[in-house]
Structure 1
């Protein structure tokens, strides 16, 4: 009876691209960091690059990989020197001479005159290793051991010279026979003929195939065409030339003198010189002139040294790829095979994760390319950032997560006509039609109308995910003007990003929860201008001197007049007294300290806001006494309020003030007290 043999399974590392079992990358943290940098003045492209460079919690970035590359490069140059082959030759020569002296001393049958002549030759060998080897080329060795050592010198030089151009030759040709050396010479002859034909444009695919059929054992890289063969050979030959360039003049002279002794014949060096000439002509773009400085104590042979020079070149390529400083740079440019060879598989995992993260950011719709080719944050990204900022604001206002959920603001008012998915804690009424419709669609989408669990006839059952609630809004609409100081002091004192985060949080709140309200963002520096949220969040730091509150109030009052039935809400974020105003002819006047006329124009326009019924709140940044006195007096004129928040609490202060203005009559004062109890200084 035949015995059943269960087939064996072999398991190897997956190398077919990205890990199919890897979890999807989470771009939420990346988006937050990119948004923060964009609001600080970075372009979205640069902000994305900076995030990939820094990495994130639990994910190493490009900087870490670049640091490891630099450390390995430094370790290679500080550990090694280029005397390895010369030292090895010197050791063999010294051993050969010592063995020969011993043989001369023991051989009693030798003529005394002949012995004296031989000893004189050995005593007067040149100090130069190369000259000594050359002088002994015709010496008739009496010691078999000495003769073998000297032959090993010639064999070593031949193997090292070949190992410089063909990795692994030093080991492969150890104890090589004359037939092996003849095969090498034949391969070099055929290779030079093939390269010469290719240089003339006369080679064919069959020429390459015939060459590989005959000599493929010498090329473990298994090139698929003549160009791949040339690339591999040129990279190695260029590294060999850089190694030669890195030697001292004395080392180069010694090596060139010794080269003629390789395999006991100058034919090898002639073939290799022809090979180098062909490769330099075919690949002039390789680095044939570079050099390195080695300072270590571990000597390198010619082949090993060439390998180290190749490693250094690979490390330099990887450093450039990881720097991503060239036009059109993408993380897909990183050579993962080289990275694995130099730093190991853990570095490849990091790089591949960063590649997937970059691709996810580009494919997510959070970044979009403008007509001039630049990247910018998409509306989807702005909404996502706004939600994150609003969540942070809610946490700061509540003192603990979930104590006060901003989505419930205005819930007791009129329905806005919009609905949303029910979330835990919602008190808004259900939208019954939408809820039942969701349940029906879910059930009908099952297989053949079957119940998803029992498989029987489907029945409509409402689940939590089906429920939608009706959104509500306060009965009184508001016209909100947020005036943000964009003078140079805001950027100089680190208030630029908090100001932008505040504007985005308020914009998100109004657009998502109070869609009946109107919002206008006004930035004021030397002059004022109305901005949309994209323009404000992408605004570079402005270094023009001037704080034109007068112009900003003019624009705000114009906005209020366009909404006569809405409750005006005036929110002013500033860190300085007004130092500029608009003249009747439209020119900007600037003076510091503030000119009385500038102050008078600002006061007059604030009075106009008060007559329009605006509920005014000043958010005073910094501790300048002059600003404090000015803001206090301005707020008293219009029965307004002054809030002096810390920078981290600016968003919560502005949003809280807006929500206080939206509260039913009589609640606003209590809401302000509540804000004061949460860490804001309310005056």
Structure 2
């Protein structure tokens, strides 16, 4: 291999991101905290610029950045009231950013503290190829196709180089598929006591959706939100997911998830449940029975019954508990025991690592 040395060019090779990319990263972070409210995120961005002069040393302003977002298709104006909203392109970018952030944490922390003795059977590589996407296994790289793309684009001269768009990978034939329902608690306790728990849960949901659609396209992911009742969430709705003045109807969430998985034509089925609160209500004869003050045996037993039904239908429940209350942990242990499932007591900043490792590992176990 020939090496070509050139003089260092700080503008071309420096580590500092272009101003647009830095501001865009900040804008996406603000969107996560505002549940996809572009108007509020832009207000916060303007306030930060006033206080910290984010565009110092540049001939661009925050208003120029906002106009650039519109030109690149990340923002659109509402014709009725003139407000701005994020587009489908921005929603996809949020999911991709969430995936990249969680995988960077996985690489940083290694394999985590919950390894398994099981090994998985690799996918069968096919002769057909496709464009490389984030998360693809590098062992499936099509070297010939990648180099051919590069030569067609940059030629064979001194300026030859590789770019991300050149990479090709071999398609694979999955030996098994996985149907997953992700349950997210939207009860009011997810934002109580000054701790934002819904933003990490929302980020994990976006990242998991992007992982499955990009790396495991034959798998399915459905999202169920639960509060006083339970309802399904489309992937496009994930950035806007927010808490409400709800109690916690865990039973309704499990029943809705079980119904979805019953319709899925997959042998391998699982439920991931992210929650921080105790079950505090359920619907009985069309009426809500609630008790927010303690682990009411009447409510708890209904949830445990659902855990047993899921076990009989070969549906594993994995609970990601983001609370440390001993009584609540005891309830989770009981649910895990009757379902023969799994439970993790995860910190907010580790939630994505726990969930992603468990998804990929459990998928491999079913593929043996």
Question: Which interval holds the TM-score relative to the shorter structure?
Answer: 0.7 to 0.9
Partner of 2:9: none
Equivalent residue number for residue 170 of structure 2: 470
Asked if 2 retains the 8 angstrom alpha-carbon contact of 1:411 and 1:428, the reply is no
Moved more, 618-627 or 42-51: 42-51
- Call closer, same or farther: CA 1:410–1:51 in 2, change over 3 Å: farther
Whether contact under 8 Å (1:524, 1:551) holds in the other structure is yes
Pair 1:613–1:30, CA change in 2 (3 A) = farther
Q: Quick one: distance in 2 between partners of 1:666 and 1:442?
A: 39
Query: What do residues 77-122 of structure 1 show as CA deviations (whole Å, max 9, x unaligned)?
Result: xxxxxxxxxxxxxxxxxxxxxxxxxxxxxxxxxxxxxxxxxxxxxx
2:365 is the counterpart of 1:654: no
What corresponds to 2:149 in structure 1? 438
Contact 1:498/1:650 (<8 A) preserved: yes
Aligned to 1:323: none
Of 509, 514, 539, the residue aligned with 2:211 is: 509
- 2-structure distance, mates of 1:427, 1:643: 31
Match of 1:518 in 2: 220
Query: Is residue 523–residue 531 contact of structure 1 (8 Å, CA) maintained in 2?
Result: yes
Distance in 2, matches of 1:612 and 1:524, equals 21
CA distance in 1, matches of 2:30, 2:263: 35
State the alpha-carbon separation in 1 of the partners of residues 111 and 158 from structure 2.
34
More strand per residue: 2
CA distance in 2, matches of 1:401, 1:623: 25
For residues 352-391 of structure 1, the aligned pairs below 5 Å read: 352-370=60-78, 372=80, 373-391=82-100
User: Hey, what's the Cα distance between the residues in 1 that align with 2:337 and 2:306?
Assistant: 15
C-alpha displacement at 1:604, in angstroms? Answer: 1.9
For structure 1, the residue ranges without an aligned partner over 5 or more in a row are: 1-22, 55-60, 66-345, 404-408, 455-461, 668-683
Superposed CA deviations along residues 10-59 of structure 1, whole A, max 9, x for unmatched, are: xxxxxxxxxxxxx99543333333333333336212202312321xxxxx
User: Secondary structure of the residue that 2:61 maps to in structure 1?
Assistant: helix
Corresponding residue to 1:63 among 46, 51, 74: 51
- What is the RMSD of the two structures over their aligned residues, measured on CA atoms? 3.5
Structure 1 residue 644, shift from structure 2 partner? 0.6
Q: How many residues align?
A: 338
Which of 259, 264, 267 is the aligned partner of 1:558?
259
Q: 1:440/1:350 Cα in 2 relative to 1: closer, same or farther (>3 Å)?
A: closer
| Structure of higher RCO (CA pairs closer than 8 Å, 6+ residues apart) | 2
The SS at the match of 1:352 is coil
Matches of 2:311 and 2:44, distance apart in 1:
46
What's the counterpart of residue 531 of structure 1?
233
Instruction: Quote the residue 1:27 is aligned against.
Output: 20
CA distance in 2 between counterparts of 1:514 and 1:425 reads 12
Provide the C-alpha distance between the structure 2 equivalents of 1:29 and 1:562, rounded to a whole number of angstroms: 44
TM-score (norm 1): 0.45
The one of 34, 41, 46 equivalent to 2:40 is 46
Say if 2:137 is the partner of 1:420: no
Scaled by the length of structure 2, the TM-score of the pair is: 0.79
Q: Which residue of 1 aligns with 2:283?
A: 582
User: How many Å separate the matches in 2 of 1:29 and 1:402?
Assistant: 30
